[in-house]
Each structure stands twice: as structure tokens, then as C-alpha cells.
């Protein structure tokens, strides 16, 4: 069987994915502590962006969305007794978000980084299934740049 080598059109980069991104729905999910839904919201936009960007996952906007997703999951995991998962994605979030300080795509990055930096030393030494080290759990509100 021969492979179908007919050319397919390459889609232009979909800069509209983020250039007009309304962060309010995400902020509402984040601020209501509905972090699983917030992660899904980010993943939908990230998937669309990498599908349509010539740079794919190396696109700076895709990297930023992934970094925010890592932060979202770190806060989710620590509340749901997955401290090992929280540590893994928290470190990835801190490294990735450092590139986008103090703000990027209309998002204030500093409060997110500060919340992660506060949580990180509290996770050290916890067993994988220990309770959240912050009770009551408080993390920074999601803020946009106006």
C-alpha cells in the first residue's frame, strides 16, 4: 500500500487564539477554586494553539499557557493529597513562569509565582499522600492587567 503523499494545506498560525483571549472565565474558575475546570479551560486553548502554530509547543504563548496549567495543577494536587504531583508540576511552573514575569498576555504572573514560592518549601518532606500543608488553603487570586 502506498502512502497518500498529496500535499495538505498548512494552516496559518492562529494568533487569534490568545490575542483576544478573555481571561475572565478562567479567573472565575481559579478564584472559585475550581482548578480542574480551570485546567481544562487552559488545555482547550493550548491544544488549539499548538495545532495551529508553526512553532507548536515551542510557541511562547503555548509555553505560557502550559506554565499556568502547571501552576493550576500544583494548587489542585496539594489540596487533593497528591503532594508528589504538586512538587513535580510546581517546580515546572516556577521555571516556566520565570520567563514571563511580571506580566504576560494580560496576566499578572508575580502573584502566581509568589503563591508557588510560598507553597514549595511546605511540600518538602511531605509524604506523597499527606494532607495539604496549608490549612485553610489560601492561594493568590488570579489577576489580569488592565
Q: Where are the domains of the chain?
A: 20-123
This prediction's pTM: 0.84
What secondary structure, in 3-state letters, does the chain show?
CCCCCCCCCCCCCCCHHHHCCCCHHHHHHHHCCCHHHHHHHHHHHHHHHHHHCCCHHHCHHHHHHHHHHHHHHHHHHHHCCCHHHHHHHHHHHHHHHHCCCCEECCEECHHHHHHHHHHHHHHCCCCCCCCCCCCCCCCCCCCECC
Give the tens place of pLDDT for each residue, 91-108: 999 999 999 999 999 999
Whether pLDDT at 85 is above 70: yes
Q: Once rounded to an integer, what is the mean pLDDT over residues 1-8?
A: 50
Whether pLDDT at 11 is above 90: no
Whether pLDDT at 54 is above 60: yes
Give the tens place of pLDDT for each residue, 109-126: 999 999 999 999 999 989
Domain 20-123, second-level architecture: Orthogonal Bundle (1.10)
Amino acid at each position: 500500500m502506498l502512502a497518500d503523499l498529496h500535499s495538505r494545506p498548512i494552516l496559518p498560525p492562529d494568533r487569534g487564539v490568545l490575542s483576544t483571549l478573555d481571561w475572565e472565565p478562567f479567573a472565575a474558575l481559579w478564584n472559585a477554586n475550581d482548578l480542574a475546570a480551570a485546567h481544562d479551560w487552559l488545555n482547550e486553548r493550548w491544544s488549539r494553539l499548538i495545532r495551529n502554530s508553526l512553532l507548536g509547543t515551542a510557541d511562547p504563548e503555548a509555553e505560557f499557557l502550559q506554565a499556568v496549567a502547571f501552576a493550576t495543577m500544583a494548587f489542585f494536587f496539594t489540596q487533593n493529597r497528591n503532594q508528589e504531583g504538586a512538587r513535580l508540576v510546581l517546580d515546572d511552573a516556577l521555571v516556566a513562569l520565570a520567563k514571563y514575569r511580571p506580566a504576560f498576555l494580560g496576566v499578572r504572573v508575580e502573584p502566581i509565582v509568589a503563591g508557588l514560592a510560598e507553597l514549595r518549601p511546605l511540600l518538602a518532606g511531605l509524604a506523597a499522600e499527606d494532607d495539604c500543608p496549608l490549612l485553610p488553603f489560601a492561594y493568590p487570586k488570579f489577576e489580569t492587567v488592565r
